[in-house]
């Protein structure tokens, strides 16, 4: 018998004798099972948990992070308004009143106009190219710099398919029909429709249906068919328009108080990054898979599906170009972000033309 085998046998025998002398409740416990999480955060969501993707991605994030960390990191999901109003999480995270929040950067336009460009861009890039710009075209560097000024670290954690262009109580037959309408509209797209004569406001998801039903607004955009159907807009507005020129792809992020982020060790940070990266993969794939059934269901409910004619989209694009110039002149961060976005797109235009089918 070799020396290593003798040693192993002696150790095994000692362990067996030790365990034999213990009662069942005295036996050593698995520390991995018994330990408490070293990170326990509250996660405030801008979206109800019942909404596909917008809410379900946050629930998935919570579960996946606990699994990947072996129980070391725990987030508790809170519905909108349970901890802070849905559109006030930025301030709470910045001040350290809240550890984390699930949202989209475009909601903070009133505080940081440039963050809108990290949410969605009118007539912007599709998801693959948008991701390329963010991770390899300089977008992330600017993104981190901006958020860190406000004591926030943010991790991109989801991306959804193109949205619908909006719901209207009356059919829109020309650009002139937009003049005077009151519309709930998100982000930079809202500034574009204002150029068309509409007045806009940003409402959280749960506030839109009552405003539409009571006539406070004449129309609304919110998200994609599989999400919009859950909010019941079809009950009071039967005209549903495509394509979503204002949001061809949309980022969602996990905002974290910067002090809390800095307290994490290298492994914990890597676990968050890995789970969020997988969430982007999951959300893009899931988003495209759930729209067809939703469109069929909406048609069965009497919804009329419309596509904007090319001339209408040309008018919107011209209005967007004016908005981009105006916003760039007002805000230096907006300008450098948009310049980076446009430069990356132009640089890759030949490759896109050569490599991809139209």
CATH number for region 39-161+248-289: 3.40.190.170
Q: Is 132 exposed, middle or buried (0-12, 13-18, 19+ CB in 10 A)?
A: middle
Task: Determine phi and psi for 251, rounding to 5 degrees.
Answer: -85, 150
Parallel, antiparallel, or unpaired: how do β-strands 250-257 and 152-160 relate?
A: antiparallel
pLDDT tens-digit readout, 326-336: 999 999 999 99
pLDDT tens-digit readout, 114-152: 999 999 999 999 999 999 999 999 999 999 999 999 999
Q: How confident is the model at residue 87 (pLDDT cuts 50, 70, 90)?
A: confident
Structurally, at CATH architecture level, domain 166-247+302-331 sits in 3-Layer(aba) Sandwich (3.40)
Nearest-10 Cα torsion for 238, 242, 247, 253: 50
Percent of the chain with pLDDT over 90: 85
Peptide bond into 108 cis (omega under 30): no
Sequence spans of domains, the chain: 39-161+248-289, 166-247+302-331
In this predicted structure, what is the pLDDT of residue 90? 97
pLDDT tens-digit readout, 236-254: 999 999 999 999 999 999 9
- CATH topology of 39-161+248-289 equal to that of 166-247+302-331? yes
């Amino acid at each position: 018998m070799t020396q290593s085998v003798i040693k192993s046998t002696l150790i095994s025998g000692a362990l067996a004798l030790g365990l034999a002398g213990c009662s069942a409740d005295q036996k050593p416990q698995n520390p991995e099972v018994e330990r408490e999480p070293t990170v326990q955060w509250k996660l405030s969501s801008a979206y109800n948990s019942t909404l596909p993707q917008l809410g379900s991605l946050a629930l998935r994030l919570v579960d996946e992070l606990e699994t990947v960390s072996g129980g070391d990191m725990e987030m508790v999901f809170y519905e909108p308004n349970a901890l802070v109003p849905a559109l006030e999480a930025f301030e709470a995270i910045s001040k350290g009143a809240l550890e984390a929040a699930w949202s989209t950067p475009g909601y903070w336009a009133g505080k940081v106009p440039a963050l809108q460009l990290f949410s969605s861009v009118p007539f912007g890039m599709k998801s693959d190219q948008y991701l390329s710009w963010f991770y390899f075209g300089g977008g992330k560097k600017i993104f981190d710099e901006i958020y860190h000024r406000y004591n926030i670290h943010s991790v991109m954690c989801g991306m959804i398919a193109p949205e619908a262009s909006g719901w209207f109580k009356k059919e829109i037959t020309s650009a002139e029909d937009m003049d005077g309408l009151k519309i709930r509209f998100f982000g930079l797209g809202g500034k574009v429709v204002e150029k068309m004569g509409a007045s806009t406001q940003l409402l959280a998801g749960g506030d839109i249906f009552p405003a539409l039903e009571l006539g406070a607004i004449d129309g609304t955009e919110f998200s994609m068919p599989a999400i919009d159907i859950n909010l019941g807009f079809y009950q009071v507005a039967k005209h549903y328009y495509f394509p979503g020129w204002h949001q061809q792809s949309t980022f969602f992020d996990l905002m974290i108080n910067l002090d809390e982020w800095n307290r994490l060790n290298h492994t914990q940070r890597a676990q968050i990054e890995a789970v969020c990266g997988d969430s982007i993969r999951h959300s893009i794939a899931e988003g495209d898979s759930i729209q067809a059934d939703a469109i069929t269901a909406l048609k069965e409910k009497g919804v009329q599906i419309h596509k904007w004619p090319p001339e209408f989209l040309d008018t919107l694009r011209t209005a967007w170009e004016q908005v981009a110039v105006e916003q760039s002149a007002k805000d230096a961060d907006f300008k450098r972000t948009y310049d980076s976005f446009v430069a990356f797109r132009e640089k890759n235009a030949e490759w896109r033309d050569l490599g991809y089918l139209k």
